Structure 1
Amino acid sequence: MRLVASYIMCLILTGISPSFAEEMREVPVHFAAGADHAVLKDRIKGYDSVIYTIGAEAGQSIDIKLSTRHTATYFNLYGPGSGPGDQAIMNSQFTPELNHYTGTLPASGVYKVSVYMMRSAARRDEVANYEIRVGITGQAGPIVQGDYADGLQGGPDYWEVHTGDINDPLNLRAGPSTGNEIIGRFPEGAILRNMGCRMAGGQRWCKVAATEGDLTGWVAGRFLREGSAPAPRVSEPETRDQEVRFAPGTSGAMLTSTLAPGEAINYRLGARADQFLTARLDADTPGLHFNIFTPDGQLLYESRGGGRSYRGQLWMNGENRVTVYNISNTAARFTLSIGIE
């Protein structure tokens, strides 16, 4: 009998479960705001098992108590990166108080608590209703110094928001808890800078910073996945506006300016129907052109197809627009001669 008991103990402590699970459900444990524990109720049948995941930091204390009338239902506790099939930290069948364990955690990360039924009862397809209380106590540091495999400090430079719903933005909070104030929201797919994660309230929280602006705060880590640096922001070419005024006693003006690549400038001048508009563009590069638009926005002339000089009669009263633009890869200086007769 002693040999059999020792053999069973060896199986348990090396992570080989006494039962062979058919269904293995995983349930994350979350604490209510300000709470240090959670109570969950469930049931297992036969070879089924339930795995509860709970985040904690090294040095904190964990307290687990399983209450059930079924005398062959127990739980195992596994460390970060481990689970059924691996070596367990403890098995509740062999704790000083049956199905109750309190201990100090050796590492930061996500722990697993597996509730299962012994094989002798599982093969009879018995059912066990139970209640399990999981608590984490003890002071946590500001940022966990753990490895990325546990989802804590380190990892990617950027996160991508992944809530699974474009209509469900991710809350940014002032601190690592659902009890902290919401200070912003990020939409599905948003890229955030990673500033380190920690365990609080039974789950992983990550400090993040927006890639635009100075918004910084905490988000629930389960809604993040590894992202890449945002693409460099391409600034839109500037388009300037300038009203054209003729000197007293004249009917024209010479306008000189310099345009950066992709830049444009709108020269606006009023005229009456039946007057003639003249325009001439002089530049050292073929990448400079101009368009003329009527007061209602119609394209009147395009220099790329007709040359850099224009003279034509207007048919509308109002403000006409002559737009000079640069399609070259270098800055270019020009002179635009424009007149109304």
Structure 2
Amino acid sequence: MKTLITIISLSAVITGTSAAAMSDADDACIDHLRGVGGPDGQSGTIESSEFSEAGTLVMLRDAGGTLWRCIAYSDGAIGDFAAVEAMDDGGGAMAGADGATQTQRVAFDAGTTGAELTGTLAPGATRQYVLGAANEQYLFVRVAPRNGTLDYVIRNPDGSELLGLMNAGQEYRGQLWQSGDHVVEVINRSNALVEYNVIFGIE
């Protein structure tokens, strides 16, 4: 498998565009993929790179086979980044692939009552965070997208809804009435890849 770095110069030759003109946009897309693409995003190939004054369209295929669409500018800024053909190799490398649901148990460090996690969701994907908590404890949830929009739902241990579909712009703080594993499901209903932080607290 050729690395992303190796493919940059080949793309420049194939398209007839100078490597200098392409390098900032391509490098920006590669760096962004490495940051959000999980283990598979650390290597792969550039499928195509189309330069224009309005921005360079770069199509990247990561090591797991997922095709990413990236629009970048000559100054290295990213205008748009999304998975357009998601694949999952079965090892969870493509967390947040289209239509996929990932599950993650939340653990607090000793002596603390909260945790902050980061994540990335592809269009149509969801991630379920599982938190053990007891009846009459208070749960705090804040979902903070760094770009785009997200929604979330909170479910009781018996599967009933503690909180119906809520926009990420609204925090939740409420008293629990069941003991066991509560599930906070973060949902990307948009058509773009969304990076986010999520904060949990139980008291």
TM-score of the two chains, using structure 1 as the length reference? 0.30
Higher helix share: 2
Which fold has the larger relative contact order, with Cα–Cα distance below 8 Å and residues 6 or more apart in sequence?
2
The structure that has the greater radius of gyration is 1
TM-score, normalised on structure 2?
Answer: 0.50
